[in-house]
Structure 1
Amino acid sequence: MSERVVAPRHRGFLYVDAHPAGCRRVVEDMWQAVPAAAPAPEAERPVALIIGSSAGYGLAATVAGLRRAGIRGVAVCFEKEPTGRRTGTAGWYRTAATAELARQAGQAGQEMVFLNGDAFGDDLKERVATLIEERFGGRLHHLVYSVAAPRRTDPDTGATYSSVLKPVGGPHRTKTLLFEDGDVPVVREVEAAAAQGDDVEQTVNVMGGADWERWIAHLAGRGLLAEGFATVALTYIGSPLTAALYRQGTIGAAKAHLEATAGILHERLEKLVGGRAFTSVNGAAVTQSSTAIPGIALYTGLLRGVLGEGLVPPAAQLSALWDDLTGAAPLPVDGEGRVRLDTWELEEEVQAAVTRRWELATTESIAELADVDWFLGEVRRLYGFAVPGIDYDRPVETAVPWPGA
């Protein structure tokens, strides 16, 4: 037994430990928020591969896929296990909770295999391919790609690339939201240095479509793609308020490459198996990745201040996406072939209201303009803290095993 009281120690938005019971409750709440589909015989349930399944929209894709679409198959992520000194990462505990909910519901049970490893490596690709071949009839129906990573090693060259978050063309100053003394909201202006040298190339090689394309090529090479196979990569565009650092910055270049890759893959898959490839543009959410981007915290808090409960959570967005993937309710696409799940965020009147609040935002006014309590609570819940119904003074078991271990 490794029970202990887990306290929310953190540096800014980055928490040192995660709370197992809180992480489990977060996943349980997400599960209950997804409308369940009617049970289907195992042979009729689609086989899916989720890459990046333990956090953010990838977690929502996994939960919604199990609950809404009744998927079986493989989920891949990269998390750290509990040690004597540290808890496991939040994604470790969320994965354990997702697997347990699937087992209890009897929808997927042991037919959803959770793998922990480097999704960029060919060894894991081969392991996944073998699982699909040996345990799932050798036919994959869907692949959801949702990967955010700081670095990637190219399996062909051995070169390691590192992603950076920088504007392109010159430095950029922006407002950002911080919390001092734990929960006091502060608005500050920060400057991000401009991309230099090969910063754009490095970031594209990590966060672009190269690895997504490699996954498809590997699985196709093994003859594992079912007729009508569909694959989607999750992406984000966001507001003009955050564009200089995001959509027009190094990350934006990677997102553009991801979208271009979708077009290339779509042509190949259409000829090969009558399949399709596309990107899904999701709306704003508080995630471990997004909190690292200057300005995003302020923007998201202001957006919530404008929309309130009208801010659409990831689970609802991904439920709609699974309906599209399975053909239950196809979604409209924009002129570039992207599914748009962010229209509620980018409506003209919504953006105008957020912009007005952005211009007025100061440390003195932020509590009136943004839903800072909601935002801070969402950040804490990413790590299993501030979850209603959890007794944080009570010792909790931290040595939670990996599903199937």
Structure 2
Amino acid sequence: MEFKQNIRGNVALGINPLGCKQEVLNQIDYVKGKGTYEGPKKVLIIGASSSYGLATRISLAFGTGADTIGVSFEKGPKNEKNLGTAGWYNNIAFREAAEKEGLIAKNFVQDAFSHESKQEVIDYIKNEFGGKVDLVVYSLASGRRTDPTTGETYTSSIKAIGEPVVGPNINMQNQSYYTETLDPATDQEIASTVKVMGGEDWELWMKALKEADVLTDGVLTTNYSYLGTELNHDYYGGGTLGLAKADCDEKTNNINELLADINGKAQIVVATAVTTKASSVIPFFPVYCIGLYKVMADKGTHETPIMHQDRIYREMIYGNKPEYDEVGRLRPDNWELDSDTQAKTKELILKLNEENFNSNLTAYDIFYKEFSNLSGFMVDGYVEQDVTIEELKALHY
């Protein structure tokens, strides 16, 4: 079977299942190369099949020897034209590698927003996972959410607030650089975005887990955020995404009150800019990334998700190098926010045009390769193999 990379705009349509497996193995090798560290032993990761969630799971399993539960919504193969999603194969590759190390790696592939999923995970923790978890990671990225109580479905909108935002963007499908206008969101779009991408579901998960008594004394729960900088404030921090992240901050206080009697803690982790399926389609953000990555690569501070997440848990959360801001959020985005890095990124972005955006002036090559890796293409160490659709269908998560 031949696997073809197919991109529409900045959305990957084609996948290479075997390349996805190799990418997972590469991330495992990265963590093993760093050695072991002390950390949690029973971990629940909500949103575990790609990017931050997958990288977190890999770091904790192969860095601390943690047993893990991963919850994600993915699709398996149907035929040669519909091979499913990359996350489906990531889940399988992770489980196979973890089980070879004698670790528990349970995958729940279903709607994490539903009450039923929460109950199934709780039952598994009680009956087959030792009874309690000591870390809950919330890393769910979705554009839609159905409220499990009302049944109403909400759709998020990546938009500005108040006034339109005009700026440059890139299209990886046709290798173009163009000017885009981001319209302001309506009040309903703002509310729906907060409903989907805010902290409500995180709080619901923690309430369900607490009520079921499956959290250890001293449990930690983390939720990933991104605040950005002056260079992307108008369309990120100052837009609908920023309000959703602010809602997560508010829910942190609620969860800390909820966990107080078991000495638990809720922690917002403000992560750095990385290449994900989501970040690739945020208006203007790819231009910021190709400028930022170039500056950080030259400084030796550019990170992929596995590098970033491993640093977060190895050095900051379970290490001795934590950095907090004035409201108690963990700030591993410190390398991105470095004043010299931001000044050089701004200077570089102002030089970009249709002729040079994908030249050696920028890190377009890094961004494109990392984007391709998400779907199993351009993966280091990948050796082409023959596989049939029947063999892919026989894989199980």
Shorter-chain TM-score bucket reads over 0.9
Distance across 2 between alignment mates of 1:66 and 1:229: 17
Kept in 1, the 8 Å contact 2:19–2:376? The answer is yes
Alpha-carbon shift at residue 240 of structure 1 (Å): 1.7
Distance across 1 between alignment mates of 2:296 and 2:312: 22
Kept in 2, the 8 Å contact 1:152–1:161? The answer is yes
Distance across 2 between alignment mates of 1:118 and 1:29: 28
**1:340 aligns to what SS in structure 2?**
coil
Kept in 2, the 8 Å contact 1:6–1:395? The answer is no
Tell me what 2:8 maps to: 11
Distance across 2 between alignment mates of 1:219 and 1:321: 24
Could you say if the C-alpha distance between residues 255 and 300 of structure 1 is closer, same or farther in structure 2, counting changes exceeding 3 Å?
A: same
Q: Does 1:200 align with 2:190?
A: yes
Of residues 253, 264, 274 in structure 1, which corresponds to 2:263? 274
Kept in 2, the 8 Å contact 1:173–1:192? The answer is yes
**1:118 aligns to what SS in structure 2?**
coil
Of residues 95, 98, 101 in structure 2, which corresponds to 1:102? 98
Tell me what 1:229 maps to: 219
1:112-141 Cα distance to aligned partner (Å, 9 max, x none)? 201100000010000000010011221111
Q: Does 1:52 align with 2:47?
A: yes
Of residues 114, 117, 122 in structure 1, which corresponds to 2:115? 122
Kept in 2, the 8 Å contact 1:238–1:247? The answer is yes
Alpha-carbon shift at residue 358 of structure 1 (Å): 1.2
Tell me what 2:305 maps to: 314
Q: Does 1:362 align with 2:353?
A: yes
Of residues 71, 75, 95 in structure 2, which corresponds to 1:76? 71
Which is further off, 131-140 or 305-314?
305-314
AA aligned to 2:273 is A
1:117-171 Cα distance to aligned partner (Å, 9 max, x none)? 0000010000000010011221111100001111111112111111000000011
Kept in 2, the 8 Å contact 1:204–1:253? The answer is yes
Question: What TM-score results when the alignment is normalised by the length of structure 1?
Answer: 0.91
Of residues 10, 15, 20 in structure 1, which corresponds to 2:17? 20
Tell me what 1:212 maps to: 202
Which is further off, 27-36 or 324-333?
324-333
1:350-381 Cα distance to aligned partner (Å, 9 max, x none)? 00001011111101232143111121111111
Tell me what 1:374 maps to: 366
Of residues 333, 340, 346 in structure 1, which corresponds to 2:331? 340
Of residues 179, 184, 191 in structure 2, which corresponds to 1:189? 179
Kept in 1, the 8 Å contact 2:37–2:64? The answer is no
**1:198 aligns to what SS in structure 2?**
helix
Alpha-carbon shift at residue 404 of structure 1 (Å): 5.7
Could you say if the C-alpha distance between residues 363 and 180 of structure 1 is closer, same or farther in structure 2, counting changes exceeding 3 Å?
A: farther
1:251-287 Cα distance to aligned partner (Å, 9 max, x none)? 1100000111112211321x22001001101111110
Could you say if the C-alpha distance between residues 225 and 403 of structure 1 is closer, same or farther in structure 2, counting changes exceeding 3 Å?
A: farther
Distance across 1 between alignment mates of 2:257 and 2:353: 49
**1:177 aligns to what SS in structure 2?**
strand
Which is further off, 168-177 or 380-389?
380-389
AA aligned to 1:121 is S
1:23-68 Cα distance to aligned partner (Å, 9 max, x none)? 111111111111465599xxx9621100000111111111111111
Could you say if the C-alpha distance between residues 343 and 325 of structure 1 is closer, same or farther in structure 2, counting changes exceeding 3 Å?
A: closer
Could you say if the C-alpha distance between residues 48 and 391 of structure 1 is closer, same or farther in structure 2, counting changes exceeding 3 Å?
A: closer
Alpha-carbon shift at residue 401 of structure 1 (Å): 5.6
AA aligned to 1:321 is I
Q: Does 1:146 align with 2:139?
A: yes
AA aligned to 1:377 is K
Kept in 2, the 8 Å contact 1:23–1:381? The answer is yes
Kept in 2, the 8 Å contact 1:153–1:159? The answer is yes
Kept in 1, the 8 Å contact 2:315–2:322? The answer is yes
Kept in 2, the 8 Å contact 1:68–1:322? The answer is no
Structure 1: unaligned runs, 5 residues or longer:
none
Could you say if the C-alpha distance between residues 404 and 5 of structure 1 is closer, same or farther in structure 2, counting changes exceeding 3 Å?
A: closer
Q: Does 1:351 align with 2:350?
A: no
Q: Over aligned residue pairs, what C-alpha RMSD do you find?
A: 2.0
Matches within 5 A, 1:291-330: 291-308=280-297, 309-323=300-314, 327-329=318-320
Which is further off, 238-247 or 120-129?
238-247
Could you say if the C-alpha distance between residues 402 and 53 of structure 1 is closer, same or farther in structure 2, counting changes exceeding 3 Å?
A: farther
Alpha-carbon shift at residue 14 of structure 1 (Å): 1.6
Distance across 1 between alignment mates of 2:140 and 2:28: 21
Distance across 1 between alignment mates of 2:381 and 2:50: 22
Kept in 2, the 8 Å contact 1:114–1:403? The answer is no
Question: What TM-score results when the alignment is normalised by the length of structure 2?
Answer: 0.93
Alpha-carbon shift at residue 178 of structure 1 (Å): 2.0
